[in-house]
Chains A and B, each alone.
Chain A
Amino acid sequence: MTTLTQEADVPAPRDAAPSGAFLSVRDLYVHFDTEGGTVKAVDGLSFDLERGRTLGIVGESGSGKSVTNLSILGLHNPKKTDISGEILLEGQELTTAREKTLESLRGNKMAMIFQDPLTALSPYYTVGRQIAEPYRKHMGVSKREAHLRAAEMLDKVGIPNAKLRVDDYPHQFSGGMRQRAMIAMALVCNPDLLIADEPTTALDVTVQAQILDLLKDLQQEFGSAIIFITHDLGVIANVADDILVMYGGRAVERGSVAEVLRAPQHPYTWGLLSSMPRLAGDVNEELVPIKGTPPSLLAPPPGCPFHPRCEYVDEVAGGKSCSGDRPRLPEGRGAACHLTGEQKKTFFIEQIKPRLG
């Protein structure tokens, strides 16, 4: 491929042995029992994450991106959830770990930034106390020390007058400040793994730009690995090193940012790119939406989950059927699609690329 220009300065081998990765998710299945039947929220997902790198997970609502990360943190309801596969954090298995083990990891080694800071922060306690709580629990320091640490963290994430604002309640903060407080709370114990679930979706675009840059700078300082979940390809392009595209509970494409955005291989990724208007795009070029609607996870389509909406089903040759055989996502760079590598390349260059202006 001619477009792998980024490859040169990314020496980390992405398809290293799973045991070497900092976080390794292998064959994860998460199923929920509901009144309507079994929801197959995550259906055979594998990925690895190295320390200091950012993995962007893109997908629409119901693609299983949030559920994946809730199960990494062990935040699912064990009574109603059927979970199988492996989640290894530095070699430690998390799916079968006891609640006590998870408790000692959460907020300490792995932390999460939620989408809506207003519901994720308790209105009853001061911001400072909420930031200090995990620090006291995991570091065993005094109340006073934890309070000072909270003020220091608030200052770090750019809250003016942090020493005074640390005793404020969440309602006294604006939306952007609350999200900064959430970031401070997540980073207070220097976690090795940070999961950010749509952290900027509820924010305005100028504030979003501040928060994204802040996260990038903080990552450089703390060296955490970040999983960044979003539906916005523009945001992913800004923050992530690698991209995982999810659809119907499965990963359909994986690669570095440059690979996935400049030479995407899966028809779903093509659809996402051509249905999204861009600031630099040609205004007279019509958007090309993906036909139909995302599948129900109660009864996902057999074979490739995208086949009912895919334009290229008829192009698949070699006796493979999109509605019968489930395409496999190769390790490293690749897409879960029955089209041949040659076909993916020609279709993208001849049909998709001209649309993107």
Chain B
Amino acid sequence: MSEELTLTKPQDDVPASGEPLMKVEGLTKHFPIMGGFPFKRQVGAVQAVDGIDMSVMPGESFGLVGESGCGKSTTGRLLTRLLEPTRGKISYRGRDISHASRKDMAAVRSEIQMIFQDPYSSLNPRQTVGSIIGNPMEVNGINPPGGREKRIREMLETVGLNPEHYNRFPHEFSGGQRQRIGVARALALEPKLIVADEPVSALDVSIQAQVVNLLQQVQRDMGIAFVFIAHDLAIVRHFSQRLAVMYLGKIVEVGDRESIYQRPRHPYTHALLSAVPEARLDDGEEDQRERIRLAGDVPSPINPPSGCRFRTRCWKAQDKCATEAPPLVQITGNAAGHLTACHFPEEGSTTAREQDVVLDSALRAMESGGPAGD
């Protein structure tokens, strides 16, 4: 049974195509803020995730992008049920697991795995590589033919590590190698869904590509669905067929790669794409992308703006945006499956406009007053 390694066997137990592997409706997570003396009571809540709907199809790679504090990591932890949702429904292969008990979850745990951001704090320094990868198998009662140790060695080989390193400790490995151990740990349980929370952002550029390629190979060869959480838009574009853009606990736009990167409609998606610093490698021609510079930072999720949450930084905001939260719908001109939550959507193009959108006061003062910038 050494062919176990690649797991290319057809996914016979996957639900019929068209049915999502995981479906999320109105998912909400509010972290309570306690205060007061002498008796602590709830004085507010961090609205980390506030009513999001999404679905992940079997074998697909779904990207989740946004800036820090937008709730993308919390969403990842809710999907793996490391956090208990405040409201909303998570169904996995048609089964509601949003409030499933520990016992009910046990069966599902091995099928939904997670890869963490920091390869230094996510591996126990006192355990050997063998036990780090083997423990989840033991907990989930998985006894592969040929024994666990054989399977662990195979896994190490799959992720590009030497099987002889079975008895080594995490500190003997570099950051990239540690992240590979994290990947092996997730793969050992033959999961159907892996939630990868910023899996490469802690690594050096030349190592990032190694891990991205490994994840991509795993996703293709083993048909595992991925929820890929990252703030780097170029990496998400490379890795995910479909993605959602989050802002302050809400999904503002979701669609396939082509729609989001070529024909974004939400002003925030426009701003985000235009802010990505890009090295132009072609000869001559100037940057053809639009230039949008927002003012200030993301507001606090403790007291988010009413209506549309982006309105405080949006150049198209009107009265309606403050009173009415825009629904996430397919607006006219969008491809199927491309949903946008905006009352006044932008044109679906990312090329330069006649006039740059510059909202930052300091930039505006300098660019209008002094010698004209570029």
Contacts and interface: CB of A to CB of B under 8 A. Distances in A.
Given A210-B360, A214-B360, A237 B279 contact: yes
A231 B213 CA distance: 20
Interface stretch (B144-152, B323-331, B332-340, B366-374): B366-374
B277 A216 contact: no
Interface stretch (B8-16, B99-107, B233-241): B233-241
A287 to B, nearest CB: 4
Nearest to B65: A205
B276 A293 contact: no
Given A217-B363, A272-B205, A275-B205, A262 B281 contact: yes
B297 interface: yes
Given A157-B362, A210-B360, A237 B297 contact: no
B353 to A, nearest CB: 16
Nearest to A296: B174
Nearest to A275: B209
A355 to B, nearest CB: 11
A204 B68 contact: yes
A158 B363 contact: yes
Interface stretch (B31-39, B130-138, B186-194, B267-275): B267-275
A356 B204 contact: no
A236 B212 CA distance: 23
A220 B370 contact: yes
A340 interface: no
A176 B281 CA distance: 29
Interface in B281-300: 281-284, 293-298
A329 interface: no
Interface residues of A, number: 59
B296 A60 contact: no
B176 interface: yes
Contact of A158 (B213, B238, B360): B360
Given A286-B213, A288-B209, A278 B204 contact: no
Contacts of B363: 158, 210, 213-214, 217
B86 interface: no
A281 B67 CA distance: 22
A281 B282 CA distance: 11
A235 B278 CA distance: 7
A238 B277 CA distance: 7
Nearest to B236: A277
Contacts of A67: none
B278 A237 contact: yes
A289 B279 contact: no
Contacts of A234: 276-279
Interface string A209-233: 1101110111011000000000111
A3 B210 CA distance: 30
Contacts of B233: 205, 279
B143 interface: no
Contacts of A286: 213, 216
A60 B362 contact: no
A290 B293 contact: no
Nearest to A173: B297
Contacts of B205: 60, 231-233, 272, 275-276
Contact of A210 (B238, B276, B293): B293
Contacts of A275: 205-206, 208-210
A312 to B, nearest CB: 16
In the complex, which of the residues B68, B209, B237, B294 has the most CB atoms of chain A within 10 Å of its own CB atom? B209
Contacts of A235: 277
A272 B208 CA distance: 10
Given A205-B272, A283-B238, A293-B207, A217 B366 contact: yes
Interface string A284-302: 0011111001100000000
Interface string A253-295: 0000000011000000001111111111101001111100110
A96 interface: no
A244 interface: no
A160 B361 contact: yes
A273 B205 CA distance: 9
A214 B277 contact: no
In the complex, which of the residues B282, B360, B362, B373 has the most CB atoms of chain A within 10 Å of its own CB atom? B362
A174 B297 CA distance: 7
A293 B275 contact: no
A61 B204 contact: yes
B280 interface: yes
B206 A220 contact: no
Contact of A220 (B208, B261, B373): B373
A177 interface: yes
A190 interface: no
Contact of A5 (B238, B284, B367): B284
Given A205-B233, A217-B362, A277-B234, 8 more contacts: A204-B298, A206-B272, A233-B279, A236-B279, A281-B238, A289-B210, A290-B209, A293-B174
The 10 A-B residue pairs with the shortest CB-CB distance in the complex, in nearest-first order: A158-B362, A275-B209, A289-B209, A234-B277, A209-B275, A204-B67, A277-B238, A237-B279, A290-B206, A287-B209
Interface of B: 67-68, 174, 176-177, 204-210, 212-213, 216, 231, 233-235, 237-238, 257, 261, 271-284, 293-298, 360-363, 366-367, 370-371, 373
26 contacts: A155-B362, A156-B362, A158-B361, A175-B68, A204-B297, A205-B67, A205-B276, A206-B271, A209-B274, A209-B275, A210-B293, A210-B360, A217-B367, A220-B373, A236-B279, A261-B279, A262-B282, A272-B206, A275-B206, A275-B208, A276-B205, A276-B208, A277-B235, A287-B209, A290-B209, A356-B281
